[in-house]
Amino acid sequence: MAKGGYSRNIAGASGTLALAAGKLALVLVPLTLMCTVLQGSSLRAEAADTLPVASSARLEQGADQATLTFELSGPVQATAFVLGDPDRVIVDLPQTNFALDPEIGKPENLEPRKNGLVASFRYGQLEPGRSRIVIDLAASAKVLRAGCENGGDGKTRLVVELSRTDKASFRTAVQAARARLAELAQPKKPIEREPASALPVIVLDPGHGGIDRGARARGVVEKEVVLEFAKVLAAKLEATGHFKIVLTREDDRFLSLSERVRIGRERNAALFISIHADTLSRVAKVSGATIYTLSDRASDREAARVAAKENQSDIVAGLDPSEDNDDVAGILFDLTRRETRAYSHMFAHTLVNYWRVAERLNKNPRRSAGFLVLKAPDVPSVLLELGYLSNGADSLALNSPDWRDQASGQVAQAIGAFFASRERNRPMTTADPDLAPAGKIPSSKP
């Protein structure tokens, strides 16, 4: 398991991003806007053509200093701070159109350096109205300046200048940033459930989005293919007239993991399906879909790897993991949680059997691990890894509208079968006969 304690962080799992957004926006916006931001209204996204455009980025670094420069179409207000675990510099901006190759800040695309300050950087939209640059540090650094200057050639440059500092000073700066964030924090809202709907609510959760692109390989980007898949599946389910469908995101925006969980709970979801695609850099032959459920201990090392990777999403977007620290006594939840897990296993089992009729499955298609996005105690939740972008056949499939149509059809059928049998077969136990040892494929058919 990648991260301990998720099972205790239950009811208070509030929208971390919304919270962080509110807090950070306070730093950025004039006082008169504060009330609006505190009430949770998101800053309206400006029309794309009026947004500042970043047209190039350049990193220069020596052993003790680094300068990251973006060329912009006009000045923006930047707010920078440092976060630890892992050590990062965060630069918040109003929504900016990054007309740049999203890969340029990846370690393999930076000039190799033994003792640089910056390991990698990325940028993108955090939510409508807000963009962010996240700089992963290779050594403790402080922000000397983060702001715009006129380049003299009529162009504006956003310059982020860092210099090496010692570990103790860095820690002090992290504590100061956290204290300021905490001071500005809104109290976490309790879960506000919608009135029950006449139809079962299915929440589809396309993973990643915005600044968090997820896995990438062979020119395919996870956040894009999973959104496409979710939309096709949503249309199929809606067409049955049997379900109410909610998508956690319908466009390219970032949502924190706890915000996704919260949507499932607030919408009274009868089923939550998080949709992802995996990649393995060194084993291109591994292929097929895998269906994960939540467990305290990972079913195997591969499941632990996948959960650790998917749980990184908040870190990738520059959120502070210490924000999500609610601790709710678990005992009242235990019975609910047991039933929830049993339903999750039941659906995962059904999905495996429907999927295998038409699509490729991983050789061990049912696994479990500590996925943060599956932690709702009262919403049956599974995570579907559609396949491996690192595998040629999977990558082609995931990018193909025909495959998407066919595979989402299998998922829609599995959902139909699950709800049809759910009332007949109320689960009595959390035991999951499906979690077979590696390599053994469950033999039962729907």
Scanning residues 409 to 428, which ones bind Zn ion (CB under 5 A)? Answer: none
Nearer to Zn ion, 15 or 214 (CB): 214
Single out the segment in contact with Zn ion by CB under 5 A; choices: 77-85, 147-155, 304-312, 342-350.
304-312
Q: Shortest approach of Zn ion to residue 214 CB, angstroms? A: 4
Question: For Zn ion, which residue of 206, 210, 214, 288 counts as binding (CB under 5 A)?
Answer: 214
Q: Shortest approach of Zn ion to residue 373 CB, angstroms? A: 9
Q: Which residue has the tokens 């806007």?
A: 33
Single out the segment in contact with Zn ion by CB under 5 A; choices: 310-318, 328-336, 357-365, 424-432.
310-318
Single out the segment in contact with Zn ion by CB under 5 A; choices: 29-37, 273-281, 294-302, 399-407.
273-281
Residues 173 and 218 sit within 8 Å (Cβ to Cβ): no
Give the binding-site size for Zn ion (rule: CB under 5 A): 4
Q: List, as one string, the DSSP characters of 278-335.
A: E--SS-TT--SEEEEEE-SS-SSHHHHHHHHHHTTHHHHTT--GGG-------HHHHH
Nearer to Zn ion, 279 or 295 (CB): 279
Asked if 276 touches Zn ion (CB under 5 A), the answer is yes
Rounded alpha-carbon distances, angstroms, from residue 36 to 7, 31, 44, 277: 34, 10, 11, 37
Scanning residues 219 to 258, which ones bind Zn ion (CB under 5 A)? Answer: none
Asked if 375 touches Zn ion (CB under 5 A), the answer is no
Q: Which residue has the tokens 């959902």?
A: 415
Cβ atoms within 10 Å, residue 302: 18
Single out the segment in contact with Zn ion by CB under 5 A; choices: 57-65, 92-100, 269-277, 328-336.
269-277
Nearer to Zn ion, 96 or 258 (CB): 258
Single out the segment in contact with Zn ion by CB under 5 A; choices: 168-176, 210-218, 263-271, 395-403.
210-218
Query: Helix 257-266 crosses helix 16-28 at what angle (to 10 degrees)?
Result: 120
Asked if 207 touches Zn ion (CB under 5 A), the answer is yes
Nearer to Zn ion, 214 or 264 (CB): 214
Single out the segment in contact with Zn ion by CB under 5 A; choices: 46-54, 117-125, 275-283, 334-342.
275-283
Nearer to Zn ion, 310 or 324 (CB): 310
Q: Specify whether the backbone of 227 is left (phi greater than 0), alpha (psi in -120 to 50) or beta.
A: alpha
Contacts of 399 (CB under 8 A, 6+ apart): 220, 225
Q: Shortest approach of Zn ion to residue 376 CB, angstroms? A: 18
Single out the segment in contact with Zn ion by CB under 5 A; choices: 47-55, 201-209, 244-252, 424-432.
201-209
Pairwise CA distance, residues 353 & 351, whole Å? 5
Give 106: exposed, middle or buried? Use CB within 10 Å, 0-12, 13-18, 19+.
middle
Q: Shortest approach of Zn ion to residue 102 CB, angstroms? A: 16
Pairwise CA distance, residues 331 & 21, whole Å? 32
Q: Which residue has the tokens 């399906």?
A: 273
Q: Shortest approach of Zn ion to residue 355 CB, angstroms? A: 18
Pairwise CA distance, residues 287 & 293, whole Å? 19
Of 346, 331, 319, the residue nearest 210 (C-alpha): 319
Nearer to Zn ion, 102 or 416 (CB): 102
Nearer to Zn ion, 222 or 434 (CB): 222
Q: 3-class SS at 73?
A: coil
For residue 146, the surrounding DSSP H or E stretch is strand 141-150
Nearer to Zn ion, 142 or 276 (CB): 276
Q: Shortest approach of Zn ion to residue 387 CB, angstroms? A: 12
Nearer to Zn ion, 127 or 310 (CB): 310
For residue 190, the surrounding DSSP H or E stretch is none
Q: Interface mask (CB under 5 A) for Zn ion, residues 323-352, using x and -? A: ------------------------------
Q: Shortest approach of Zn ion to residue 290 CB, angstroms? A: 12
Q: In the structure encoding, which two tokens stand for residue 354, read together?
A: 């429907």
Cβ atoms within 10 Å, residue 410: 19
Q: In b/e form, how buried is each residue of 74-96, taking b as 16+ CB within 10 angstroms? A: eebebbbbbbbeebbbbbbbbbb
Contacting positions for Zn ion (CB under 5 A): 207, 214, 276, 310
